[in-house]
Amino acid sequence: MSAPTAPRVLIRTAAAPADKESAIREAAQLLVAAGCIDPAYEGSMLRREGVANTYLGHGVVIPHGMVDDRALVRESGLAVLQVPAGVAWHDGQDAHLVVAIAAQSDTHITILRRLTRLIQDEARLARLRTTQDPAEIAAALSEDAPAPGVAGPAADLPHAFTWTVDYPTGLHARPASAWVEAARGGSARIQVRHGAEVADAKTLIALLQLGLRAGDEVVISAEGEDAPAALARLKATVTGLSAGEKAAAARAAEAVAKAAAPVAGWNLADPCRIVSGIGASPGLAIGPVHVLGPTDVAVPDEPEPLTSGGDRLHAALESTGAQLKALADDTGRRLGQADAGIFKAQAELIADTDLITLACQLMVEGHGVAYAWHQAVERMAGQLSALGNPVLAARAADLRDVGRRVLAQIDPALRSGHALPDAPCILLAPDLAPSDTAGLDPARVLGLATAQGGPTSHTAILARTLGIPSVVAAGANLLALPAGTTAILDGTTGRLYLDPSEGDLAAARHWRDRLRATQEEEARERGLPARTRDGHAVAIGANVNTPDQVPFALSQGAEGVGLMRTEFLFLERGDTPGEDDQYATYRAMLEALEGRPLIVRALDIGGDKQVPHLALPKEENPFLGVRGARLLLRRPDLMEPQLRALYRAAKDCVPAGAPTGKDAPLSIMFPMITSVPEVTALRAACERIRTEIGAPEVPLGIMIEVPAAAIQADALAAHCDFFSIGTNDLTQYALAIDRQNTELAPEADSLHPAVLRLVRMTCEGAARHGRYVGVCGGIAGDPFGAGLLAGLGVHELSMTPRDLPAVKARLRAATLADLEALAIDACAQPDAASVRALDGKAGETAEARS
Ligand code: PEP
Ligand code: MG
């Protein structure tokens, strides 16, 4: 009997199956006859085709059974059908080598690794398609010879340490990108060896191709001048990530367990068609289905000179990097840092040297830039999927997602996207890219079901964050459903009920209404003003950048928008929006808010928000350079169209007699102010443009983000209508901690007493001139922080929408007197940890008094 790592190889040359299904059955029968599988495994292999595309690339396909049916495999084996004439497989692709896999334990990964190498050797593959010698095919599938560029020498470098992978889900893209970042921090050469496989620690895809799983032992070694220090740095990163990885895996398992737990709430009485998948985001959705077609675009091969092609690829990669950064930033602010990490990891994928090298090789061979890029992405993604590890298969989806973005930058005609119907629907899709999912509007997408994917994919994580009930891995039949079919999607049990009877619809509605009633009870609370028990009201706004995000913010209890970051208009597009485009956005924003207050922040470019297409001079310390208001004052070509667009929106949308002050429907504020002359210059520009347009006056405010502005708040208050404290930047500048420095991130706490004292000074300065003060930095969304800020004298808090309910509840449960006492206490503490320790005590005091 063969050992699991040396599967039996059964070969049939010159096969001519009529179609895909016959090919699978024929290969399965070879395995049955050899005693490798139970006959029932044949059905499992056919089922797998319904949920996954087993086309590996270059005419090689790998049918195999479902994971849950592994018990039907008696002995590892491969059945290879050589089909010289080809058999249609998937999406117009023909299979010439059908490699049916029956694998026990990890045999699968060994076989796939051999196959992925084989498909890089096109000449050999071409021979295998027609050879009449089965031994030639068997030899190709039994060798472990490394493919060029995939594996290096198996010797370790002079400085080394050994580590056993203890990340529960193995080395996936997020930790791997942290390794790459640490390895790139120095000039030493660093490699990671697992058995005979070696990867350069500075390239992400090479690391991922090692397919490291929990329990694997690796040797990480380095050579070069700073090798010992570089290795120590990498070791700290590698081991430092363990705790977080374990916690993330536990959270994912909990989410999946919750999603998989059946609901006791409603039951199906009448038979109807049911499509089963895996529950990925709990909840019930009822509505018509809408099927999204594939987004594949035909990428033409249009050769061009290497120099201009290289430049175009470079520019496209740069602007995609900036787009991803913006997306990570926006997702971080809307949905949280964990979700933002998805896009940070995607940015690492496109920076991968192997990927770029491959694209360049193809261009050198004479292919066009778009074609070369597309091929490189497809090949790399194919290799990642082929490793047989579901986590890496999900990263292949990420690579394709990000690859699409670059393609759209190379040639806007290659932009692929989805159009949604106007009426709310349940969305059905083959799979959805994370960036498409992040952009879904829960008001229009009632539920989501995908043919492929898994409950821990980024798409599922984002759907849960957005609260969209979802089912994944529901099979390809899903996509054949006629548009408009009424369905009930149960994201808890992972089922989609089609054409349900009136009785079942009523039962499902009843259950959904009960869920809704509970949520509405919470929503009623969210809708109440943030008024403390002793009657002090704090205004509550949301940080929202686009009109389509407004309804969700309002549903969470926002009373307006306290911060609209306009740089995203520039970052997302990859070019500078004109005055008319900006006007349309501001107007749509005002309309969405229906008279509620909107504070638009003028462009805050610089620091962490770089815009490549503006080609601004490179600075050594961009956080201390020409950013925010400093840039606006130097670049009237950027500032004036924005102010014109804003005043035109004010003229057209702000009715006569609208409130002024804190409740004004539109206010403008300027970022990164450090001095009075900046404010007077900006005010003068506003006044000139306002008069030219004939627009009404709007409150003009400034952000307090630099200690100088907080200290001089009284002087600044004389020249502006309001302040909004940007605690994210105020903390970085007060504590001298770069807000992007991950190592110092735990110390960059906005509750540091020094920051709180600056907030207090700002409020005191504003009070001297009767100005109101808001806070729109992250700490405003922390319930304890929000209470402290109110106690320090802040009038308005603006935050990411999903933080609103908890903040409102906390403020409503407190008294201003308590919060003021707490604020005095906090400012007197020695450090942030002691301030945070007051949290529990404040609760005790409040309880004792009530
Ligand atoms: C801040 O600095 O707190 C702020 C709200 O601005 P941003 O995060 O956009 O720099
Ligand atoms: Mg800021």
- Residue 109's pLDDT is 41
SS3 533: coil
Q: Ligand 1: does its nearest atom lie under 6 Å from the Cβ of 776?
A: yes
Please list the residues that pair with 95 across neighbouring strands.
Answer: 87
What DSSP state is assigned to residue 291? E
Least confident of 3-7, 126-130, 355-359, 480-484: 3-7
Residue 695 clears pLDDT 90, i.e. is over it: yes
CATH number of the domain to which 156 belongs: 3.30.1340.10
Which atom of ligand 1 is found nearest the CA of 777?
A: 3
- State how many domains the chain has: 5
Q: Ligand 1: does its nearest atom lie under 6 Å from the Cβ of 728?
A: yes
Residue of higher predicted confidence among 85 and 567: 85
Decide if 537 contacts 528 (C-beta within 8 A).
no
Q: Nearest ligand, CA of residue 563?
A: 1
Positions marked active-site = 64, 172, 458, 776
Q: Ligand 1: does its nearest atom lie under 6 Å from the Cβ of 727?
A: yes
Distance CA 30, CA 63 (A): 13
Residues 6+ apart with CB under 8 A from 241: 167, 175, 178
Distance CA 808, CA 786 (A): 9
Kindly tell me the burial class for residue 486, based on how many C-beta atoms sit within 10 Å of its own C-beta (0-12, 13-18, 19 or more): middle
Which atom of ligand 1 is found nearest the CA of 607?
A: 10
SS3 763: helix
Distance 786 CA to ligand 2 centre (A): 18
Q: Is residue 541 part of a domain?
A: yes
Least confident of 451-465, 492-506, 533-547: 451-465
Count other C-beta atoms under 10 Å from residue 215's C-beta. Answer: 10
CATH number of the domain to which 437 belongs: 3.50.30.10
**Count, residues in the chain:** 850
Which one of 362, 390, 414 terminates a domain?
414
pLDDT cut 90: percent of the chain above it: 36
Q: Is residue 263 part of a domain?
A: no
Task: Give mean pLDDT, residues 587-607.
Answer: 94
The reply to whether the predicted model has a pTM over 0.75 is no
Residue 733 and residue 611 share a domain: yes
Q: Which secondary-structure segment (H or E) carries 631? A: helix 629-634
Least confident of 50-59, 144-153, 281-290: 144-153
Q: Ligand 1: does its nearest atom lie under 6 Å from the Cβ of 565?
A: yes
Q: Ligand 1: does its nearest atom lie under 6 Å from the Cβ of 726?
A: yes
Distance 711 CA to ligand 2 centre (A): 17
Q: Whose CA is nearest to atom 3 of ligand 1?
A: 726
Distance CA 280, CA 286 (A): 17
Own/partner long-range contacts of 334-342 (Cβ < 8 Å, ≥24 apart)? 334/549, 334/800, 334/801, 334/802, 335/438, 335/462, 335/465, 335/466, 335/800, 335/802, 336/465, 336/802, 338/248, 338/461, 339/438, 339/461, 339/462, 339/465, 341/174, 342/398, 342/434, 342/458, 342/461, 342/462
Decide if 723 contacts 702 (C-beta within 8 A).
yes
pLDDT, one tens digit per residue, over 409-446 is 888 777 666 666 778 899 998 777 666 777 777 788 99
Distance CA 270, CA 272 (A): 6
Q: Is residue 3 part of a domain?
A: no
The region that residue 331 occupies, defined by phi over 0 for left and psi between -120 and 50 for alpha, beta otherwise, is alpha
Least confident of 25-29, 131-135, 281-285, 329-333: 329-333
Sole residue written with tokens 């297409």: 613
CA distances from 194 to 191, 349, 748, 807 (A): 10, 22, 37, 49
Decide if 70 contacts 41 (C-beta within 8 A).
no
Residue 276 and residue 214 share a domain: no
Distance 668 CA to ligand 1 centre (A): 15
Q: Is residue 158 part of a domain?
A: yes
Residue 70 and residue 36 share a domain: yes
- Residue 770's pLDDT is 96
- Residue 113's pLDDT is 53
Pocket test of ligand 1: the residue of 599, 703, 725, 755 to mutate, having most ligand atoms within 8 Å of its CB, is: 703
Residue of higher predicted confidence among 467 and 672: 672
Q: Is residue 836 part of a domain?
A: yes
Residue 426 and residue 310 share a domain: no
Q: Whose CA is nearest to atom 1 of ligand 1?
A: 726
Which atom of ligand 1 is found nearest the CA of 567?
A: 9
Residue 67 clears pLDDT 50, i.e. is over it: yes
Least confident of 430-444, 678-692, 715-729, 752-766: 430-444
Q: Ligand 1: does its nearest atom lie under 6 Å from the Cβ of 705?
A: yes
Q: Is residue 555 part of a domain?
A: yes
Helix axes 337-350, 390-410, angle to 10 degrees: 70
Distance 265 CA to ligand 2 centre (A): 46
Residue 68 clears pLDDT 70, i.e. is over it: no
Residues 6+ apart with CB under 8 A from 416: 295, 296, 297, 404, 408
Which atom of ligand 1 is found nearest the CA of 726?
A: 3
Which one of 380, 396, 414 terminates a domain?
414
Q: Whose CA is nearest to atom 4 of ligand 1?
A: 726
Residue 626 and residue 758 share a domain: yes
Distance 728 CA to ligand 2 centre (A): 6
For residue 687, give the amino acid letter: E
Residue 613 and residue 471 share a domain: no
- Residue 173's pLDDT is 64
Residues 6+ apart with CB under 8 A from 837: none
- Residue 432's pLDDT is 76
Distance CA 279, CA 284 (A): 11
Task: Give whichever of 241-255, 351-365, 557-571 has the largest mean pLDDT.
Answer: 557-571
Enumerate residues with CB within 5 Å of ligand 2 (an ion): 705, 726, 729
Distance 71 CA to ligand 1 centre (A): 55
Distance 594 CA to ligand 1 centre (A): 25
Average pLDDT in the chain: 82
Decide if 791 contacts 821 (C-beta within 8 A).
yes
For residue 505, give the amino acid letter: L
Residue 356 and residue 234 share a domain: no
Residue 750 and residue 839 share a domain: yes
Q: Whose CA is nearest to atom 6 of ligand 1?
A: 726
Residue 708 and residue 574 share a domain: yes
Q: Nearest ligand, CA of residue 609?
A: 1
- Residue 149's pLDDT is 38
Decide if 541 contacts 599 (C-beta within 8 A).
yes
What is the band of 73 on the pLDDT scale with cuts at 50, 70, 90?
A: confident
pLDDT, one tens digit per residue, over 528-579 is 999 999 999 999 999 988 888 898 899 889 999 999 989 878 766 667 899 9
Task: Give whichever of 380-384, 385-389, 448-452, 757-761 has the largest mean pLDDT.
Answer: 757-761
Q: Which secondary-structure segment (H or E) carries 80? A: strand 77-90
Which atom of ligand 1 is found nearest the CA of 728?
A: 3
Residue 850 clears pLDDT 60, i.e. is over it: no
pLDDT, one tens digit per residue, over 294-318 is 556 678 888 877 667 777 888 888 8
The region that residue 595 occupies, defined by phi over 0 for left and psi between -120 and 50 for alpha, beta otherwise, is left
- Residue 319's pLDDT is 85
Q: Is residue 538 part of a domain?
A: yes
What is the band of 820 on the pLDDT scale with cuts at 50, 70, 90?
A: very high
Residue 381 and residue 324 share a domain: yes
What is the band of 517 on the pLDDT scale with cuts at 50, 70, 90?
A: confident
What is the band of 463 on the pLDDT scale with cuts at 50, 70, 90?
A: confident
Pocket test of ligand 1: the residue of 608, 776, 797 to mutate, having most ligand atoms within 8 Å of its CB, is: 776
CATH number of the domain to which 667 belongs: 3.20.20.60
**Full residue range of the structural domain in which residue 160 is found:** 150-250
Which one of 142, 174, 196 terminates a domain?
142
Q: What angle do CA 73, 79, 83 make, to 5 degrees?
A: 150
Kindly tell me the burial class for residue 107, based on how many C-beta atoms sit within 10 Å of its own C-beta (0-12, 13-18, 19 or more): buried
Which atom of ligand 1 is found nearest the CA of 729?
A: 2
Residue 457 and residue 588 share a domain: no
- Residue 286's pLDDT is 93
- Residue 826's pLDDT is 97
- Phi and psi at residue 564, to the nearest 5°: -110, 115
Decide if 402 contacts 350 (C-beta within 8 A).
yes
Q: Whose CA is nearest to atom 9 of ligand 1?
A: 565
Residue 808 clears pLDDT 80, i.e. is over it: yes
Residue of higher predicted confidence among 685 and 805: 685
Residue 393 and residue 492 share a domain: no
Which atom of ligand 1 is found nearest the CA of 543?
A: 5
- Residue 206's pLDDT is 75
Residue of higher predicted confidence among 347 and 56: 347
Least confident of 46-50, 90-94, 768-772, 844-848: 844-848
CATH number of the domain to which 91 belongs: 3.40.930.10
Q: Nearest ligand, CA of residue 799?
A: 1
Task: Give mean pLDDT, residues 508-529.
Answer: 77
Pocket test of ligand 1: the residue of 545, 566, 604 to mutate, having most ligand atoms within 8 Å of its CB, is: 604
CATH number of the domain to which 327 belongs: 1.10.274.10
The region that residue 606 occupies, defined by phi over 0 for left and psi between -120 and 50 for alpha, beta otherwise, is left
What is the band of 753 on the pLDDT scale with cuts at 50, 70, 90?
A: very high
Residue 96 clears pLDDT 80, i.e. is over it: yes
Q: Is residue 208 part of a domain?
A: yes
Residue 754 clears pLDDT 90, i.e. is over it: yes
Distance 398 CA to ligand 2 centre (A): 30
Which atom of ligand 1 is found nearest the CA of 724?
A: 5
Q: Ligand 1: does its nearest atom lie under 6 Å from the Cβ of 729?
A: yes
- Residue 244's pLDDT is 72
Distance 675 CA to ligand 2 centre (A): 16
Residue of higher predicted confidence among 217 and 742: 217
- Residue 738's pLDDT is 82
Pocket test of ligand 1: the residue of 729, 755, 773, 775 to mutate, having most ligand atoms within 8 Å of its CB, is: 729
Q: Ligand 1: does its nearest atom lie under 6 Å from the Cβ of 777?
A: yes
For residue 689, give the amino acid letter: I
What is the band of 2 on the pLDDT scale with cuts at 50, 70, 90?
A: very low
Distance 604 CA to ligand 2 centre (A): 8
Least confident of 325-329, 562-566, 807-811: 325-329
